[in-house]
């Protein structure tokens, strides 16, 4: 046996790869494997993530490393404060190669394009075999998505979702038909909230010693990042995440479907599962969750529309946006089909606006590092679309503020779903709505200084004139769209004065928007000079090791 054969395999496990059955760990033996886990400054600061997001990822990583060690694995864990920390994945792998002299590196492909580009340079950088394995924690491989997409003129989630239903057998009859006869029950999932509606309390996880250390670290090193650390309640281990899932299936899935689009001021989660942070970290298996949802329908505990809705979000939307991301990168990052150029308003960071819906969504975002889907889409996203906010600024904001945000899932949702920056590749129409929609689906308007029924002028809900301003700005592109084109006949039927009123009101409102100040703008990757290296120098007491 060659002497080299005794050298270990180095298995870098990234922060969102916290899965015991990860492809790079499957089949490995404990005595010839060194697992490398790295807290690096580049990742913590390439945008200035919400404080809770950094605590969540570091704490989940530290817990996962402890679990692996308890199970007998050799884990080489590099903390952010390690004085020799190189600051980047590649730098840390280089140091680990020196320490362990591995015969090979086995790594699972990264979720984000940026990190994957760095990993693909490793074979040239390191003098050992580098094996990059597919991330098989998704239902569809990237090749499968590519094959599916390449045959089509138009990509639509609905058709991809049906393929995933067939592939997994979820909610399928023995003769290959959708259970209940329909593929998609979304039309049953649009109930407005009832008066005084609230959801059962979900499990909240008190910080243990490891989490508390991460909280202290973030308070010290990331004090100027967005977000509150007054409470931290996210699950940080698989065990806790399972407890959160148990509570969802026991208490909330029944109403998940019907009230999926409802919004209630101060009710931050309603009947949503709040499982995205755990799924995206790798603590929960998305397919297992779908099977549990299906079982709860079979057991008569949840209606089909709730279960189908939940399964569609996961094997439909989640899988679809991941495939779409890799299919459209890197140009998706720069897409701006509607030529939106306005700066992000300051209130996205401060919540200081008289628009009650936006203020509440920003508050929830700041306090919880979370807002539920319809808040992200139809309030925060709708406003950014109508006001013509520049895609890179909106993209950075969403990537910063949500604890579940990783570029592969955030970017398609932001650039393509809310901003239509891809020109309609992902969604068949822009999700543009006036104040009527928010008034119907929430109780926000009753506490707002604006009125959703007033269309223009003082006191009118700003979404009303902004809606028409947007439509008129983009008429040429949208009027032949079968899903929105008809709206222009309503516009054409209005008298000239009314149309002018709409446009003037929108212009007057847009003129009041204050662009984000310097502090927040610094969180944008678009800001020149804000390199990770400079962050390291300014925030990390000068112990720069980056080369
Ligand atoms: C503008 C915008 C940005 C978003 N950014 C992110 C993001 O960075 N990370 C993220 O995980 N989700 C993102 N989403 C999707 C969705 O809003 C969140 O997954 C959801 O709010 C998480 O809360 P939950 O676990 O309670 O979800 P639930 O409402 O309970 O849904 C169940 C699960 O379905 C999946 N899911 C639902 N909708 C989507 C979707 N559109 N895309 C992908 N997965 C979906 C999630 O895994 C979620 O946990 C975004 C949506 C929009 C409109
Ligand atoms: S009136 Fe308009 S701005 Fe105010 S809460 Fe309703 S939709 Fe939002």
C-alpha pair distances (Å), 394 with each of 119, 131, 206, 385, 389: 27, 35, 32, 10, 7
pLDDT in tens, 146-169: 999 998 888 999 999 999 999 999
Instruction: Identify the pLDDT of residue 514.
Output: 84
Name the residue of 373, 420, 427 whose CB sits within 8 Å of the most ligand 1 atoms, as the mutation to test its pocket: 373
Ligand 2 contact via 394 beta carbon (within 6 Å): no
pLDDT in tens, 428-445: 999 999 999 999 999 999
Q: Is the pLDDT of residue 170 over 80?
A: yes
Instruction: Identify the pLDDT of residue 2.
Output: 54
Distance 438 CA to ligand 2 centre (A): 7
Ligand 1 contact via 307 beta carbon (within 6 Å): no
Name the residue of 439, 459, 509 whose CB sits within 8 Å of the most ligand 2 atoms, as the mutation to test its pocket: 439
CA distance 260 to 276: 15
CA distance 389 to 294: 40
Which ligand minimizes its atom distance to the CA of 287? 1
Residue 516: pLDDT band with limits 50, 70, 90: confident
Ligand 1 contact via 312 beta carbon (within 6 Å): no
Q: Which atom of ligand 2 is nearest to the CA of 435?
A: 7
Instruction: Identify the pLDDT of residue 517.
Output: 73
Give the dihedral sign, CA 462/468/472/476.
positive
Distance 280 CA to ligand 1 centre (A): 10
Q: Which atom of ligand 1 is nearest to the CA of 410?
A: 8
Report, in this order, helix, strand and coil percent for the chain, each rounded to 5.
50, 5, 45
Which ligand minimizes its atom distance to the CA of 434? 2
Residue 4: pLDDT band with limits 50, 70, 90: low
Q: Is the pLDDT of residue 227 over 90?
A: yes
Identify the residue whose C-alpha is closest to ligand 2 atom 6.
Answer: 445
Peptide bond into 330 cis (omega under 30): yes
Per-residue pLDDT, averaged over 237-254, amounts to 98
Q: Is the pLDDT of residue 515 over 60?
A: yes
Q: Report the predicted TM-score, pTM, of the whole model to 2 decimal places.
A: 0.95
Identify the residue whose C-alpha is closest to ligand 1 atom 38.
Answer: 313
C-alpha pair distances (Å), 58 with each of 91, 281, 440, 465, 509: 18, 11, 40, 44, 42
Distance 256 CA to ligand 1 centre (A): 14
Name the residue of 404, 414, 415, 420 whose CB sits within 8 Å of the most ligand 1 atoms, as the mutation to test its pocket: 404
Q: Are strands 74-78 and 33-38 parallel, antiparallel or unpaired?
A: parallel
Distance 443 CA to ligand 2 centre (A): 9
pLDDT in tens, 102-151: 999 999 999 999 999 999 999 999 999 999 999 999 999 999 999 999 98
Instruction: Identify the pLDDT of residue 1.
Output: 42
525's CB contacts (< 8 A; 6+ apart) are: 46, 47, 392, 396
Residue 520: pLDDT band with limits 50, 70, 90: low
Residue 544: pLDDT band with limits 50, 70, 90: very low
Identify the residue whose C-alpha is closest to ligand 1 atom 23.
Answer: 274
Per-residue pLDDT, averaged over 238-244, amounts to 98
Mean pLDDT, the chain, integer = 93
Ligand 1 contact via 274 beta carbon (within 6 Å): yes
Ligand 2 contact via 445 beta carbon (within 6 Å): yes
Which ligand minimizes its atom distance to the CA of 353? 2
Ligand 2 contact via 439 beta carbon (within 6 Å): yes
Most distant CA pair in the chain, distance: 88
CA distance 224 to 519: 8
Distance 2 CA to ligand 1 centre (A): 50
Instruction: Identify the pLDDT of residue 518.
Output: 56
């Amino acid at each position: 046996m060659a002497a080299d054969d005794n050298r270990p395999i180095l298995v870098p496990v990234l922060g969102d790869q916290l899965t015991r059955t990860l492809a790079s760990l499957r089949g490995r033996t404990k005595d010839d494997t060194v697992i490398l886990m790295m807290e690096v400054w580049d990742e913590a600061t390439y945008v200035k993530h919400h404080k809770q997001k950094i605590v969540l990822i570091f704490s989940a990583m530290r817990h996962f490393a402890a679990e692996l060690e308890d199970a007998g694995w050799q884990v080489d864990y590099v903390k952010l404060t390690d004085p020799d920390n190189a600051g980047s994945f590649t730098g840390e792998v280089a140091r680990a190669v020196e320490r362990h002299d591995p015969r090979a590196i086995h790594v699972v492909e990264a979720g984000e394009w940026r990190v994957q580009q760095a990993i693909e340079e490793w074979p040239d950088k390191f003098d050992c075999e580098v094996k990059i394995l597919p991330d098989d924690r998704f239902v569809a491989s990237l090749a499968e998505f590519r094959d599916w997409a390449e045959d089509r003129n138009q990509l639509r989630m609905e058709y991809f979702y049906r393929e995933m239903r067939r592939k997994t057998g979820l909610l399928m009859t023995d003769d290959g038909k959708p259970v209940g006869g329909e593929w998609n029950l979304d039309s049953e999932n649009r109930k407005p909230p009832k008066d005084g509606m609230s959801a059962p309390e979900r499990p909240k996880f008190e910080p243990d010693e490891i989490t508390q250390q991460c909280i202290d670290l973030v308070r010290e090193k990331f004090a100027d990042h967005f977000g509150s650390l007054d409470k931290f309640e996210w699950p940080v281990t698989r065990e806790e995440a399972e407890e959160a899932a148990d509570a969802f299936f026991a208490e909330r899935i029944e109403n998940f479907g019907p009230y999926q689009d409802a919004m209630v001021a101060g009710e931050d989660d309603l009947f949503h599962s709040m499982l995205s942070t755990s799924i995206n970290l790798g603590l929960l298996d998305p397919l297992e969750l779908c099977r549990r949802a299906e079982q709860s329908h079979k057991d008569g505990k949840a209606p089909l529309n709730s279960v189908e809705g939940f399964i569609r979000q996961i094997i439909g939307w989640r899988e679809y946006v991941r495939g779409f991301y890799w299919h459209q990168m890197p140009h998706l990052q720069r897409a701006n089909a509607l030529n939106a150029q306005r700066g992000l308003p300051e209130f996205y960071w401060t919540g200081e606006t008289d628009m009650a819906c936006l203020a509440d969504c920003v508050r929830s975002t700041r306090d919880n590092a979370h807002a539920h889907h319809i808040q992200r889409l139809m309030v925060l996203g709708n406003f950014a679309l109508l006001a013509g906010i520049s895609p890179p600024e909106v993209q950075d904001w969403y990537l910063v503020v949500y604890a579940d945000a990783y570029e592969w899932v955030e970017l398609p949702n932001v650039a393509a779903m809310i901003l239509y920056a891809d020109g309609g590749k992902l969604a068949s129409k822009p999700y543009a709505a006036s104040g009527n929609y928010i008034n119907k689906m929430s109780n926000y308007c009753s506490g707002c200084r604006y009125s959703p029924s007033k269309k223009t002028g003082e006191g009118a809900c700003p979404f009303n004139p902004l809606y028409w301003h947007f439509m008129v700005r983009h008429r040429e592109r949208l009027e032949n769209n079968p899903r929105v084109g008809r709206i222009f006949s309503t516009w054409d039927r209005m008298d000239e004065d009314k149309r002018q009123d709409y446009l003037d009101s929108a212009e007057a409102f847009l003129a009041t928007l204050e662009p984000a100040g310097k502090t927040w703008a610094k969180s944008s990757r678009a800001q020149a000079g804000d390199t990770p290296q400079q962050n390291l120098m300014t925030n990390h007491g000068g112990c720069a090791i980056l080369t």
